Structure 1
């Protein structure tokens, strides 16, 4: 396959350097790696220059998107990519040597337009026990070959056939550029248009969890944003058409689930902080759904 890897980065030069090292060692060598720096200060230029000086075995293209908006950065990556297939990975992830090979093999084996793989969290040593027991950073996994449900579509580990792109250039929506959720919105639109996105459970990448994310507050705010994303996508019809009645039912269900989760958070506290935090996260996610009806959006990346 003629593959271009599209990579957006923002002020993570050390992580970017490690990821570029991983891409150099891929068993299936990509044709091109496009690095889009969303930092106008060009903090990502040094790792790219190091990779170029070391003789990267692929075309390495670096560009700056000065507008602080991840959707604009991702769109520029697509614009500059030349491959027949586009692979996406985040700048804080690590790619095993067989990552790209497994994705491409799955695309052929399952006759897929796109392949999504798991992102496995790596917690640092010494992390609080309740965080490890709660498995808060894990994402759902499926059997390989399963068509990914629209509400589980995400970037971070994806291979996509270029011919599946919207010919009108309507890719990532800048309205999600500082809140996140631009990936779910884009991929669900592709799925609605008939793009077949399947799961490959063997093509995993690793995501070392940053210390700033090892707190209950971060978990609750991420759940809040996730609930807002889900509601925004649902209300936009990404998961199916909604009429006035189904919107009311959606709101009432989220309200009921929020109240029940709060009660369970209190009742489960004697059985461990990880159990109580689980239900608090559920309550926060449903609060996010409710807040989306009022047009509120947590700007996580602002």
Structure 2
């Protein structure tokens, strides 16, 4: 249901979707509630995605202290469901989606307000940089911080059509989000299930509806994003890259579906075993131990391992399971004799 104009009563709505991370939620709420922008110019909506820890208590403690903070409970598990609940609850002209494991500088919303006043972009955002709350493993290199950061242009500018803003620091006009139907519930995290791609798919739909659309990036609009200890393991890397591969299947252009997607998947079937063999022999027999002193270094830095093994495996898995699901869902009933 479209919102009446009188329902849009504020400039910015910050939406924080969270699931069982009460300790992190407390930290990000403290940051957001200490912005230099006046409290009267923004609201904060905490969307509890069916948490079982102290999330509600933490959120309500901020609601009691800050009149512009609100709490809502979304029982349907899934980040996209939570994000959609957030914009339906919001009263802001612009929505700011912020991850619950972020740290935010005090000028974050003031910078956003300035961008809106000068540019009024449909979608905009800024970089995020890694921060840590646990010791890094012995094999970790400083340059790996870049794998867990996201930067765009060095100066404020509109991005190319094939570039999109990451969902952890994403601002979007509420009217446009409503027009395109919100986030796709088939994509995005769901509980402990890793899944990605919902913000990319959303911006693809905006571009389809508005071909002149370009996302806007400003390096001043930065946040810090937590790299938890579990993310600094090869096991996590494999899971995350497979999840990106699964998302890539759903992000394929619709005109590639059916015959084209089958060819795409078959090509990966052929390439995957070859890539696994090459990675194994390179790791065991050809690894440059001065460049890659630990096996984790080789795997972490190997494009063939990251994209040619993990990403391909995720794509193939999603292709097969989706095809089988579609096949059985549309299986015709047996004809009566």
Task: Name the residue aligned to 1:67.
Answer: 76
Structure 1 position 113, deviation (Å): 1.1
CA contact under 8 A between 2:87 and 2:174: conserved in structure 1? no
Determine helix, strand or coil for the equivalent of 1:166: helix
Identify which of 274, 295, 298 aligns with 2:297. 274
Q: 1:11 to 1:112 in 2, by over 3 A?
A: same
CA distance in 2, matches of 1:296, 1:151: 27
Q: 1:50 to 1:243 in 2, by over 3 A?
A: closer
CA distance in 1, matches of 2:320, 2:84: 28
Task: Name the residue aligned to 2:225.
Answer: 207
| Map 1:1-302 → 2, pairs under 5 A | 2-29=11-38, 30-39=41-50, 41=52, 43-54=54-65, 56=66, 59-124=68-133, 126-133=135-142, 134-135=144-145, 136-143=147-154, 144-147=156-159, 149-150=161-162, 152-167=164-179, 170-176=181-187, 178=190, 179-194=195-210, 195-235=213-253, 237=254, 241-242=255-256, 246-247=260-261, 250-251=264-265, 254=268, 258=272, 259-260=274-275, 263=278, 266=283, 267-268=286-287, 270=289, 271-272=291-292, 273-279=296-302, 280-282=305-307, 283-295=309-321
- Alignment coverage as a number of residue pairs: 290
Q: 1:59 to 1:263 in 2, by over 3 A?
A: same
CA distance in 1, matches of 2:288, 2:48: 43
Structure 1 position 287, deviation (Å): 2.1
CA contact under 8 A between 2:187 and 2:247: conserved in structure 1? no
> Which one has the largest radius of gyration?
2
CA distance in 1, matches of 2:164, 2:47: 25
C-alpha RMSD of the superposition? 2.8
CA distance in 1, matches of 2:152, 2:204: 18
CA contact under 8 A between 2:96 and 2:172: conserved in structure 1? yes
Deviation per CA, 1:180-207, whole angstroms, max 9, x where unpaired?
Answer: 4323222321232224321222211111
CA distance in 2, matches of 1:213, 1:16: 19
Determine helix, strand or coil for the equivalent of 1:14: helix
CA distance in 2, matches of 1:243, 1:296: 12
CA contact under 8 A between 2:83 and 2:183: conserved in structure 1? yes
CA distance in 1, matches of 2:264, 2:117: 38
CA contact under 8 A between 1:104 and 1:159: conserved in structure 2? no
Q: Give the TM-score of the pair, scaled to structure 1.
A: 0.83
- Give structure 2 stretches of 5+ with no counterpart: 1-9, 324-337
CA distance in 1, matches of 2:152, 2:228: 22
CA distance in 1, matches of 2:249, 2:288: 28
Q: Give the TM-score of the pair, scaled to structure 2.
A: 0.75
- Give structure 1 stretches of 5+ with no counterpart: 298-302
CA distance in 2, matches of 1:103, 1:285: 34
